[in-house]
Amino acid sequence: MNLKLRRLVLNKIRHLSLARICLLVFLLIFLLTSYIYGLIEINSHQIIFNILPADINENDYVIDHDMVKNNPKIPHEPKKIIAQNKYSLTVDKKIKKLFSRVQKSREEIERVLNEEQRKLVTEQKNTYTSLIYERHEQLKAQLEKELERLKKEEEEKAKNNPNDNNANLNQQNVDEDDDDEEEEDARPNPKTLKLKTSLNSDEMVPRDQFINFLKLEKINRKLKHVKTVRELVDEYRLNDDANELKNIPSIWERYHMKISELQLYNHTKNVNSVLKSMASEPVINCAEKEKGTQIKLILTLNDGTDVLVKPMKVPRDYETPPDHFYFVDFERHHAEIAAFHVDRLLGFHRVPPTVGRVFNMTTELLQKAEPELERTFFISPGGNLCFTGHCSYYCDSTHATCGKPLDRLEGSVQLLLPSKPAVKWETARHPYRRTYTKKRKAEWEVNDQYCEETVFRNTIYHSKLFLDLIDLCVFDFITSNMDRHHFERMVSLGNDSFMIHLDNGRSFGKIFSDEMSILAPLKQCCLIRYSTFKRLEYLYENGFGKMLDESLKFDPLYPILTENHLISVDRRLAIILKEVMKCTDKFSLANVIIDDGY
Ligand SMILES: Nc1ncnc2c1ncn2[C@@H]1O[C@H](COP(=O)(O)OP(=O)(O)OP(=O)(O)O)[C@@H](O)[C@H]1O
Ligand SMILES: [Mn+2]
């Protein structure tokens, strides 16, 4: 009896295990396919399921809005936390003294080159410029010869071995390092060869001469016709057979057409209406920005305006963790907004109009999303609507962009500036670029003579562009932005059209300390534009932090910066002025503060 029972049980178990094994194998195959097709992500410590219904049903994302209203713990309106004038203004006597010294040297600073000097300096400048063009032509001719020779060799080889399928010569240049676009290729193509604007290493440009090149701009400025986008559009329309610019959205007339070679807008007033419409116009399409390292959306608004949206990732008081490099830092929407206001107060007007906006993720993003993006939406365990999107950094489920709460999402909205076909842009590598690696330092970080040895020798900076670069350094130090790898310009507006201060998402990552290395261009070159200095003086006298807070009050997401951020802005302004002061110990005042007419 006992034996019979035992056999029966054993048999049952055997059968059960077979069924289990089948089930297990099936499950494994299922998991493997899910993993391959991206429905499952495996992290170091968890497995994440991205299994979504193939067709997204709007009802899957119904958010309980009453819950938000009835739950006082959920902040559905940002609290106004900044008490006015809480941060104090310290006035440094030494800085005040610098202001009065500059006032006294005003005549000397503002003086233009006399006729004789102008001729001489123009000649010197032209000598360098012709030198680099000459070398460029020589190099091009040399490369063409070399290519010709190689081609002949290949042809001869082909004649000798007619069966051998030779590799195409031009094919060898396809692999280009994206980051080092200005570095020389192994075998550059003479047709697309970029002009090397740098003089040879033994050809130093003395400081006095370099300063004269900058001063020469003051004369040129007076003679110059300042080009606008309107002119570019008019020019383009003359040959616009495809009628590409026939029915352009109203933003062109309201804003784009007025962009000039000098700045993105001339009066705050001109930009306020754009900010307002970007913050309120209904969204009609939502796409992802291609090739981004972090998630960015491109929205088309009802009035035809295209805008770039960076969604909220971190709270206002977030600081970059001490072990995080600048190149892995999160992009912050509040930084983009604050940077616009800082740039505007500095009088540069080189950051595109940027405003904060609260989105209803369901109706404004999900329901308007293009299919690729739509597929990445899901509801989190906390009941919030989230999406991951596609990008190379932080587009996995652990870093999803989620409603705070439910489907309420804050973001920065930046106007997309005009580009092709009427407006051509150019990107150039920043001379004080960081290495974007964990271990290697850039030359400017180890060589204090870098400015004279490298920057002064680059003929691209024998122009207005150099003091623009110092302006950018001032702006980046105040906003604490270490992520300035390139700068972009609308070159069809002119050879030295202003540097657009784009991509400020990684600024304001430090609050209680200052990143002194950002000031390297100012410290090493010891040159600053007169009008910028006067602007810094004005902000110092009137309280930069306070003015910034007042300016930010116009943003729908106010407060944008914390009180400590505002204190940091005042502190950094004083540091910049002190660095200028140190420079005037080394060089005379009129050889540090330069009036180039801009
Ligand atoms: N407001 C704008 N108008 C026009 N073009 C823009 C604007 N903002 C960004 N772009 C274009 O998109 C590019 C990428 O923008 P941004 O630098 O913000 O993205 P990113 O993904 O952070 O780039 P990266 O991570 O490589 O620094 C810019 O270099 C510029 O060419
Ligand atoms: Mn960036």
pLDDT at 372: 95
- The pairs formed by 107-110 with CB atoms below 8 angstroms and a separation of 24 or more are 108/589, 108/590, 109/530, 109/589, 109/590, 109/593, 109/594, 109/595, 110/530, 110/595
Distance 412 CA to ligand 1 centre (A): 14
pLDDT at 6: 77
Using one digit for the tens of pLDDT, what is the confidence trace for 330-384? 999 999 999 999 999 999 999 999 999 999 999 999 999 999 999 999 999 999 9
ipTM: 0.95
- Rounded CA-CA distance 66/69 in Å is 5
pLDDT at 44: 40
Please name which ligand lies nearest the alpha carbon of 293.
Answer: 1
pLDDT at 2: 66
pLDDT band at 35 (very low <50, low <70, confident <90, very high): low
Lowest mean pLDDT among 53-62, 198-207, 407-416, 531-540: 53-62
Closest CA to 410 of 331, 356, 368, 353: 356
pLDDT band at 42 (very low <50, low <70, confident <90, very high): low
Distance 419 CA to ligand 1 centre (A): 12
Using one digit for the tens of pLDDT, what is the confidence trace for 245-302? 889 999 999 999 999 999 999 988 889 999 999 999 999 999 999 888 899 999 999 9
Q: How confident is the model over 65-88, as a mean pLDDT?
A: 45
User: Which residue puts its alpha carbon closest to atom 7 of ligand 1?
Assistant: 416
Using one digit for the tens of pLDDT, what is the confidence trace for 520-560? 999 999 999 999 999 999 999 999 999 999 999 999 999 99
Distance 60 CA to ligand 1 centre (A): 33
Asked whether 392 and 288 are in contact (CB, 8 A), the reply is: no
Closest atom of ligand 1 to 415 CA is 1
- Rounded CA-CA distance 63/327 in Å is 36
Lowest mean pLDDT among 57-66, 173-182, 455-464: 173-182
Q: How confident is the model over 214-238, as a mean pLDDT?
A: 95
pLDDT at 74: 40
Q: Is the pLDDT of residue 403 over 60?
A: yes
Is the CB of 417 within 6 Å of ligand 1? yes
Which of the residues 476, 483, 496, 555 is marked catalytic?
483
What is the distance of C-alpha 35 from the center of its chain? 34
User: Which residue puts its alpha carbon closest to atom 18 of ligand 1?
Assistant: 503
Closest CA to 172 of 191, 159, 189, 148: 189
For a mutational test of ligand 1's pocket, the pick from 278, 503, 506, i.e. the residue with the most ligand atoms closer than 8 A to its C-beta, is 503
Distance 327 CA to ligand 2 centre (A): 9
Closest atom of ligand 1 to 417 CA is 3
Lowest mean pLDDT among 17-31, 339-353, 434-448, 481-495: 17-31
Distance 337 CA to ligand 1 centre (A): 15
Feature table: binding site for Mn(2+): 331, 503
Is the CB of 414 within 6 Å of ligand 1? yes
How many helices (H) and strands (E) would you count in the chain?
Answer: 18, 14
Q: Does an H or E element contain 490, and which?
A: strand 486-490
Q: Is the pLDDT of residue 53 over 60?
A: no
Q: What would the two tokens of residue 101 be? A: 């010294």
pLDDT at 5: 67
- % of the chain beyond a pLDDT of 90: 73
What single letter denotes the amino acid at residue 413?
Answer: V
pLDDT band at 93 (very low <50, low <70, confident <90, very high): very high
Lowest mean pLDDT among 25-29, 148-152, 381-385, 434-438: 25-29
**SS3 annotation, 196-252:** CCECCCCCCCCHHHHHHHHHHHHHHHHHCCCCEHHHHHHHHHHCCCCCCCCCCCHHH
Feature table: binding site for ATP: 294, 310, 331, 414-417, 488, 503
Q: How confident is the model over 30-53, as a mean pLDDT?
A: 52
List, in sequence order, the alpha helices (H) in 304-419.
333-345, 371-374
pLDDT at 451: 98
Closest atom of ligand 1 to 291 CA is 21
For a mutational test of ligand 1's pocket, the pick from 340, 416, 502, i.e. the residue with the most ligand atoms closer than 8 A to its C-beta, is 502
**Which residue matches tokens 């006035």?**
91
User: How many residues in the chain?
Assistant: 598
Using one digit for the tens of pLDDT, what is the confidence trace for 411-435? 999 999 999 999 999 999 999 999 9
Is the CB of 352 within 6 Å of ligand 1? yes
pLDDT at 268: 83
* Active-site residue flag, 92: no
Q: Is the pLDDT of residue 169 over 60?
A: no
pLDDT at 352: 98
Q: Is the pLDDT of residue 409 over 60?
A: yes
Burial of 327 (0-12, 13-18, 19+ CB in 10 A): middle
pLDDT band at 59 (very low <50, low <70, confident <90, very high): very low
Q: Is the pLDDT of residue 308 over 70?
A: yes
pLDDT band at 442 (very low <50, low <70, confident <90, very high): very high
- Rounded CA-CA distance 568/562 in Å is 10
Q: How confident is the model over 394-410, as a mean pLDDT?
A: 95
Q: How confident is the model over 453-463, as a mean pLDDT?
A: 97
pLDDT band at 19 (very low <50, low <70, confident <90, very high): confident
Distance 289 CA to ligand 2 centre (A): 12
Closest atom of ligand 1 to 331 CA is 22
- Rounded CA-CA distance 401/179 in Å is 28
- Rounded CA-CA distance 509/489 in Å is 26
Name the β-bridge partners of 40: 49
Feature table: binding site: 294, 310, 331, 414-417, 488, 503
For a mutational test of ligand 1's pocket, the pick from 306, 308, 415, i.e. the residue with the most ligand atoms closer than 8 A to its C-beta, is 308
Is the CB of 403 within 6 Å of ligand 1? no
Lowest mean pLDDT among 41-55, 110-124, 343-357: 41-55
Lowest mean pLDDT among 24-33, 41-50, 298-307: 41-50
Using one digit for the tens of pLDDT, what is the confidence trace for 571-588? 999 999 999 999 999 999
Instruction: Write down the mean pLDDT value for the chain.
Output: 87
Q: How confident is the model over 88-93, as a mean pLDDT?
A: 71
- % of the chain beyond a pLDDT of 70: 84
Is the CB of 308 within 6 Å of ligand 1? yes
Closest CA to 232 of 426, 499, 494, 495: 494
Q: How confident is the model over 444-472, as a mean pLDDT?
A: 97
C-alpha distance from residue 549 to each of 57, 312, 435, 588 (Å): 43, 20, 34, 36
pLDDT at 48: 45
Q: Is the pLDDT of residue 73 over 80?
A: no
pLDDT band at 407 (very low <50, low <70, confident <90, very high): very high
Closest atom of ligand 1 to 503 CA is 18
Q: Does an H or E element contain 274, and which?
A: helix 268-280
pLDDT at 305: 98
- Rounded CA-CA distance 412/469 in Å is 25
